[in-house]
Amino acid sequence: MSLVQISDSTPKPLETGRRYWRSLEELAGTPQFRRWVEREFPRGASELLSSSSRRTLLKLMAASFGLAGLVACRRPQEKILPLSKGVEHYIPGKPLYYATAMNLAGSVTGLVVEAHDGRPTKIEGNPRHPESLGACSAFAQASVLSLYDPDRSRVVLRQGRPSSWEEFARFAADHFRAEVLGRGSGLWLVAGSQPSPSYEAVRNHLLGRFPEARWVEFEPISREAMRRGAELAFDRRLETLYDFGKARLIVAFDADFLGVDSPGVRAIREFSRGRAVVSETDSMSRLYVAESRFSITGAMADHRFRIRSSEMANAVEALASALGLMPAHSGNFPWAAAVARDLAAHRGASLVLAGPGQPPEVHALVHLINEALGNFGHTVSFVAAERAPGEASFEELAAALASGRVQTLVVLDSNPVFAAPADFDFAANFSRAATTIHLGLEADETGSAATWHLPQAHYLESWGDLRTLDGTVSIQQPLIYPLYDGRTPAELLALLSGYKDQRAYDIVRNYWTARWPAQEAERRWRRALHDGLIEGTGAARLVPAVDRRRVLAAWRPRPAAGGIELVFYASPSVWDGRFANNGWLQEAPEPMTKLTWDNAALISPATAKKLGVTSGDVVLIEHEGRSAEAPVWILPGQTDDSIAVALGYGRTVCGRVGRRVGHNVYPLRTSRTAGFAVGVNVRPAGRRYRLVSAQDHHAMEGRPLVREATLRYWREHPDFAQHAVHVPELKSLYPEHQYTEGYQWGMAIDLNRCVGCNACILACQAENNIPIVGKREVARGREMHWLRVDRYFTGDEEAPEAVFQPVACMHCEKAPCENVCPVVATVHSPEGLNEMAYNRCVGTRYCSNNCPYKVRRFNFLDWHKGLEESQKLVFNPDVTVRMRGVMEKCTFCVQRIEEKRIQAKAEGRRPLRDGEILTACQQTCPAEAIVFGNINDPASRVALIKKQNRNYVMLEELNVRPRTSYLARIRNPNPELV
């Protein structure tokens, strides 16, 4: 028998002629990168001792020997504490599920939350909810951790000293009277966006009692530019709604609609459905993206144009003129004519959109384009956006504050001291108001500066209602009694205004039941709680006409500004800073850079060369006399002379997780430069800063791990995915497992649908009790995520394309890990799972060294040491919390398999249905990219998918026969532009 050489360390190009790389280091083949490839555990990662010295270890060992001797005599006495009185529906040990909803800066997602013994542990999307459709985002997944955050504020603070709600109620009764506040001319309220009918009723009651009080909505990342654009185009305040599912052609201008520019998940679901293809004869949608920052939307694009945000208006203008809507354009946008022709061929089924960072005129022009393309009523529709009575802008508040006209300032669920535009000097003027009252989840920058800080109830502790942009209302029901005596914003306003109902439950329930016929009220209320949304809500969709003259009259030609621009964007980890203390989100690698625990000034390789900086160099960014520092990260594909920095980092008054993590760039962001600033001055600060990116971690040899082709190539070579590598005839020395009956689990991941949004990573973390390790440990390659999303670049270093590939344990049929375990801790199950018995593992790490996919994770330290009691409540009781010295990895959510199996047995030993078992990553995936099921059943979804011609497995030539396969990605470029 001759040995076939199958390991070849030189990257082989695909038949399609592409080479894929994870980082510039890999492209250049630096020794640093080779080390990540060659060593399963990087140098230093194997040092078991991290912070504790040898001396402490000896002490600990002595102590544990002593304890071991003691406990061996008699096991500790455990108590069982049953309830005194039974609770309806509650069976100890059985999870209960409740529908609720989450609000993130006005974007509402309906959720179904799993509660174990009264504590919420896992969040899923609500399939009935129009903004969820069963999926949920990384933010929603991680929000359960924030609930148990021990750094949340726990007591009422008055001038920073502990006080009580009773004392505040006495103060409020005394202060919020007509004799003190008059008609409320000195009363200002500033609140985060919370679209909630019952809350608005309480607010209007308060504004009715104090008619001269002013209401300000403040969100650092808002859709205000879009609303103002609609105002310009239609002379009405409207919210724009998109239907990505109906759009066969999408043109996005600086709009990261799959990422942070629409923090919900509906956009991803609809978009990915438009990308779904089964056979090469299917058609798929086409996406053009013009953007400055390389976003995940840009990674999904069929054509990506690198254009600075400040020149985006010119690009939109060029498209409008190519469509004949404006006079001929002289700008250098060679693609505009071809895109215009493509759009014209897809009338009524195309969609043009601009990002919220673009100015209102651009949005107005985009409306004009969509109207001309016949998209109104098909892919674009509108609903009325109401203003609060007495609503003022944040700018007016800032001016009133500066001139001393604000006597009482109430801040609800917002952190303007940290995030206010820098030109308003908000932080400095905040204390000029005689009385400041802050309601928030944490005593943050605003809370610590306020006269009164009041703890807010987390949304999982709150009764309320929330309205999506399209008007659907969900009832928010609490999963747990407030842990820290928090109250909801509606309750605070009710307290301040003497509203008829004081408790959140009464406020929301009475608001709705008053609107229903009395005899139906109870039934409809229960129905709304059960379904997670109220029947019959939903605003009328409007299709107004664009006032073309107004739009064109407002248009100013914009000469291309020189210099470097600075683009601000919401962080996919901490959003505007509110999730800074959430360790799950902080540690989730940013989708494009794979940076963890940091933000950075993202620049292109060419700009880096021009500025003479490299990744990790700190630069000083100056604009209009303001300055901030940030470390540079070179991101291939970033537009030249454009720097993108994520907002929300560098919090100073924050819990122990998020304090001083990253760099704060709010000091550079003014009211006029909310999206981007032009002509910034950048120079090296002469310092280095350690940025930790996981992009090279768990790197595999440069074989064709990701496979893709254009739609045309696929049609010419239907089986291209299977022939990317030469696979010799393979025989195994090990006996074949027999799977004649029963189940055999498998998974398929569609790379054509995955948008790299990270929701799966967070879902896995929540479901499987995956610990947080911190920045220093991530740098050592010790991150514990069972599921990682590899991001590969391909093509030109300056303007590459990108592909995402989620990678978890493949559950190989001939698993190399199983053969090398000396203690049989990792074994094959009769259903093909590669199982991990933690209590057998002795931590040799041979399995990990032998895993070609690098999906095994080792507990180098006890990551759960020092957890506070509240943090232990988040654990999923169905999954073991692993200790130090133990190997772990993806289990295909075996606890979910077993749960359903036991249920099926109890229901008369029926067979498990296809789709009954969902892995955590699959359940939350907004793109529906992950399918799991029984591959023994030829009719199961996963078996059918695995028969598609795009199906391939990674490293097939190793003959380990992984159970997770991938569907090759297909791009659909415009033949005219190729």
Taking the complex as a whole, how short is the minimal distance between the CB of residue 164 and other proteins, in angstroms?
Answer: 24
Q: Is 170 helix (H, G, I), strand (E, B) or coil?
A: helix
Q: Does 89 bind other proteins (CB under 8 A)?
A: no
- Tokens linked to 637: 């594909």
Q: Which CB atom, from 32 or from 903, has the smaller least distance to other proteins?
A: 903
Token pair 């809370």 in the structure block, residue: 447
Alpha-carbon gap, residue 883 to 880, rounded angstroms: 9
Binding span for other proteins by CB under 8 A among 166-174, 330-338, 408-416, 899-907: 899-907
Q: Is 837 in the site for other proteins (CB under 8 A)?
A: yes
Q: Which long-range contacts (CB under 8 A, 24 or more apart) does 936-943 make?
A: 936/739, 936/741, 936/742, 936/743, 936/744, 937/743, 939/914, 940/914, 941/914, 941/915, 942/746, 942/747, 942/748, 943/746
Interface residue with other proteins, options 1, 3, 70, 72 (CB under 8 A): 72
Question: Rounded to an integer, what distance in angstroms lies between the CA atom of residue 263 and that of residue 223?
Answer: 11
Stretch that binds other proteins, among 141-149, 177-185, 788-796, 905-913 (CB under 8 A): 905-913
For other proteins, give the closer residue by CB, 299 or 770: 770
Shortest gap between Cβ of 133 and other proteins (angstroms)?
Answer: 29
CA trace torsion 218, 219, 220, 226 (10° rounding): -110
Stretch that binds other proteins, among 83-91, 543-551, 672-680, 772-780 (CB under 8 A): 83-91
**One residue of 1, 3, 70, 83 binding other proteins per CB under 8 A:** 83
Nearest distance from residue 243's CB to other proteins, in Å?
41
Q: Is the Cβ–Cβ distance between 486 and 165 less than 8 Å? A: no
Alpha helices (H) in 373-458, listed in sequence order: 394-402, 416-419, 426-430, 445-449
Residue (of 384, 106, 359, 387) closest to 240 by Cα position: 384
- For other proteins, which is the closer residue by CB, 231 or 937? 937
User: Alpha carbon of 172 to those of 94, 160, 303, 335, 397: distances in Å?
Assistant: 43, 18, 58, 61, 22
- Interaction residues for other proteins, span 908-967 (CB under 8 A): 909
SS3 464: strand
Distance of CA 650 to the CA centre of its chain: 19
Q: Which residues have CB under 8 Å from 976's CB, separation 6+?
A: 338, 341, 342
Binding flag, residue 898, other proteins (CB under 8 A) = yes
Question: Is residue 818 within the footprint of other proteins (CB under 8 A)?
Answer: no
Q: Report yes or no: 639 and 308 within 8 Å, Cβ to Cβ.
A: yes
The C-alpha atoms of residue 536 and residue 545 are separated, in whole angstroms, by 27
Q: Which of residues 544-583 bind other proteins (CB under 8 A)?
A: none
Min dist CB 909 to other proteins, Å, is 6
Which residues in 62-93 are b (16+ Cβ under 10 Å) and which e? eeeeeeeeeeeeeeeeeeeeeeeeeeeeeeee
Q: Is 68 in the site for other proteins (CB under 8 A)?
A: no
Q: Is 70 in the site for other proteins (CB under 8 A)?
A: no
Region near other proteins per CB under 8 A, out of 91-99, 292-300, 495-503, 583-591: 91-99
Rounded Cα distance between 587 and 694, Å, is 10
Per-residue binder mask for other proteins (CB under 8 A), 281-320, x = binder: ----------------------------------------
Q: Which helix (H) or strand (E) holds 627?
A: strand 626-634
The only residue of 61, 91, 278, 553 in contact with other proteins, by rule CB under 8 A = 91
Q: What's the min distance (Å) between Cβ of 922 and other proteins?
A: 18
Residue with tokens 């249905």: 913
Phi, psi torsion values for 660, nearest 5 degrees: 55, 40
Residue ranges in 354-383 that form contacts with other proteins under rule CB under 8 A: none
Count of residues binding other proteins (CB under 8 A)?
Answer: 40
Q: To the nearest whole angstrom, how small is the minimum distance from the Cβ of residue 875 to other proteins?
A: 11
**Contact pattern for other proteins over residues 840 through 859, marking x by CB under 8 A:** x-------------------
Decide whether 379 or 964 has the Cβ nearer to other proteins: 964
Q: Which stretch binds other proteins (CB under 8 A): 137-145, 289-297, 825-833, 865-873?
A: 825-833
Residue 75 in the binding site for other proteins (CB under 8 A)? yes
Comparison of 79 and 161: residue with beta carbon closer to other proteins:
79
User: Which residues, in sequence order, are bridge partners of residue 630?
Assistant: 619
**Does 79 participate in binding other proteins (rule CB under 8 A)?**
yes
**Quick one: 712 or 828, whose CB is closer to other proteins?**
828
Q: What is the CA radius of gyration of the chain?
A: 28
Give yes or no for residue 115 binding other proteins (CB under 8 A): no
Site for other proteins (CB under 8 A): which residue of 338, 838, 850, 914? 838
Q: How far is the CB of 602 from other proteins (least distance, A)?
A: 41
Q: How far is the CB of 498 from other proteins (least distance, A)?
A: 33
| Residue span binding other proteins (CB under 8 A) among the ranges 272-280, 425-433, 585-593, 834-842 | 834-842
Site membership for other proteins, residue 797 (CB under 8 A): no
Residue of 115, 727, 730, 827 that binds other proteins (CB under 8 A): 827
- 77 near other proteins, judged by CB under 8 A: yes
User: Under a CB-based contact definition with an 8 Å cutoff, are residues 175 and 408 in contact?
Assistant: yes
Among 307, 336, 310, residue whose Cα is nearest residue 324? 336
Rule CB under 8 A: choose which of 31, 78, 179, 869 binds other proteins.
Answer: 78
Token pair belonging to 632 = 């540079």
Q: For residue 348, which amino acid is it?
A: G
- Residues 383-422 touching other proteins, rule: CB under 8 A, are none
Q: What is the smallest separation between the CB atom of 808 and other proteins, expressed in angstroms? A: 16
Task: Note whether 902 binds other proteins by CB under 8 A.
Answer: yes
Q: By C-beta, is 549 or 909 nearer to other proteins? A: 909
Given 82, 625, 735, 938, the residue binding other proteins (CB under 8 A): 82
Q: For 296, how many CA atoms within 13 A lie in the half-sphere containing its CB? A: 31
- The C-alpha atoms of residue 781 and residue 45 are separated, in whole angstroms, by 7
Q: Can you give the binding site for other proteins, defined by CB under 8 A?
A: 72-73, 75, 77-86, 91-94, 827, 829-830, 833, 835-840, 878-881, 891, 894-895, 897-898, 902, 905-906, 909
